[in-house]
């Protein structure tokens, strides 16, 4: 995770609650310098999922079919992951399903960024796409970009609350 996203999650973590689900939690080889999001949420019940096993992964599963009951998690993180998913709306639907009422969904995706594979790189989402399409079933939502007000932001991030 880069410093911009890590700092954003650290600020948001102050109002997060347990249990936490992180979708796309695998710490990739060569990214040892990148801090796990678990550090920002120390002491929380935390489950990290990814499509393959490895460091940071507690359970192997596909975000399109999460093996958790409805409204189980108080916080869901999906950081720098959705651009790698073939059906992002299915993942968003699963996040909404497993998130408790008034639970917090924290997200980020690159926008103006090099193509990077794991396993593939499919999408770029504008702030407007997040606000009007991906988060339409959530109640409150806050979508930001970095740098702010740039015509070509490097990252899009934010959070939504299920209402």
Q: When comparing pLDDT for 27 and 88, which is higher?
A: 88
Instruction: Give residue-wise pLDDT tens across range 91-137.
Output: 999 999 999 999 999 999 999 988 877 679 989 999 999 999 999 99
Q: Which residue has tokens 């209402």?
A: 163
Instruction: With beta carbons less than 8 A apart as the criterion, state whether 85 and 129 touch.
Output: no
Identify the H or E element spanning 161.
Answer: strand 155-161
Domains of the chain, residue spans: 3-161
Share of the chain above pLDDT 90, in %: 72
For position 33, what pLDDT does the model report? Answer: 44
DSSP-derived letter for residue 8 is: H
Contacts of 80 (CB under 8 A, 6+ apart): 1, 2, 5, 24, 108, 109, 110
- Assign 1 a pLDDT band (cuts: 50, 70, 90): low
Instruction: Give the CATH H-level superfamily of domain 3-161.
Output: Vaccinia Virus protein VP39 (3.40.50.150)
Name 144's bridge partners.
157
Mean pLDDT of all residues in 29-34: 53
Which of 81, 12, 82, 80 has the alpha carbon at shortest distance from 44?
12
Q: Whole-structure pTM over 0.85, yes or no?
A: yes
| Number of Cβ within a 10 Å radius of residue 7 | 13
Provide the CB-side half-sphere exposure for 31 (13 A, CA). 15
């Amino acid at each position: 995770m880069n410093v911009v996203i890590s700092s954003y999650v650290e600020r948001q973590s102050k109002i997060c609650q347990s249990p936490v689900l992180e979708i796309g939690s695998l710490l990739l080889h060569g990214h040892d310098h990148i801090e796990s999001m678990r550090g920002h949420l120390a002491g929380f019940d935390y489950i990290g999922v990814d499509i393959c096993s490895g460091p940071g992964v507690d359970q192997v599963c596909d975000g399109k079919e999460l093996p958790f009951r409805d409204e189980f998690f108080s916080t869901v993180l999906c950081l720098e992951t959705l651009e790698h998913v073939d059906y992002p709306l299915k993942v968003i639907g699963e996040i909404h399903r497993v998130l408790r009422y008034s639970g917090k969904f924290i997200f980020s995706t690159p926008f103006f960024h090099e193509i990077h594979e794991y396993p593939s790189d499919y999408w770029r989402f504008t702030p407007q796409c997040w606000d009007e399409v991906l988060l339409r079933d959530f109640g409150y939502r806050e979508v930001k970009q970095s740098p702010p007000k740039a015509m070509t932001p490097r990252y899009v991030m934010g959070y939504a609350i299920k209402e």
